[in-house]
Amino acid sequence: MHPLAHFLTITRHRHLVIKHCFACGIYMQGLLHDLSKYTPTEFIPGAIYYQGTRSPNAAEREAKGYTSAWLHHKGRNKHHLEYWIDYDTGPQGQMCGMKMPVRYVVEMFCDRVAASKIYSGDKYNDRYPYEYYLKSKSHYIIHKDTQQLLEKLLRMLAEKGERYTFAYARRLIRRGHD
């Protein structure tokens, strides 16, 4: 069990997200980002399965077949696309991604950039978050508009860098695109 190392990792991540959210103009979301990670339901499994090079959720999932921390986390944090999965109104009642408000897509983007920095360390570059996303996107249940905006932000980061992309996101937020 690694409670101190886990605490330091989630706190470093959270502070990076706060910094990125502030750069994008979503101040309150930055301040409130991932506070549920400090609750016993999420913190204890995180400390038990801590490795430092990837999310402890992956290790818990491998060990138990599911992750209690992730199930708790995704249901309380609107910046996760999984929070927005629901049944459609069609006759079959299929699960689908609901359109996320822009401010949560921007927070999700900030979260992905910060996680990429934390877990890749010195290997990080502005292409890393987009490349990581491309490896995982095939299994996402996500609304097409949400997916398009997230991909646009990740591609923009890869091609034009943080300053340009954060300024673009800030303009989206100011215009009230939700």
The tens digit of pLDDT for each residue in 3-37 reads 999 999 999 999 999 999 999 999 999 999 999 99
Give the whole-angstrom CA distance, residue 177 versus residue 160: 22
Query: Residue 82: which of 92, 102, 96, 93 has the closest Cα?
Result: 96
Q: Which residues of the chain have pLDDT under 50?
A: none
**Given this model, what pLDDT does residue 176 score?**
74
List the chain domain ranges: 3-174
Give the whole-angstrom CA distance, residue 79 versus residue 58: 19
**Given this model, what pLDDT does residue 90 score?**
83
**Given this model, what pLDDT does residue 69 score?**
93
Collect contacts of 30-33 with beta carbons under 8 A, ≥24 apart. 30/107, 30/110, 33/77, 33/79, 33/107, 33/110, 33/111
**Given this model, what pLDDT does residue 177 score?**
61
**Given this model, what pLDDT does residue 178 score?**
56
DSSP annotation of 100: P
| φ/ψ (deg, to 5) at 124 | -60, 140
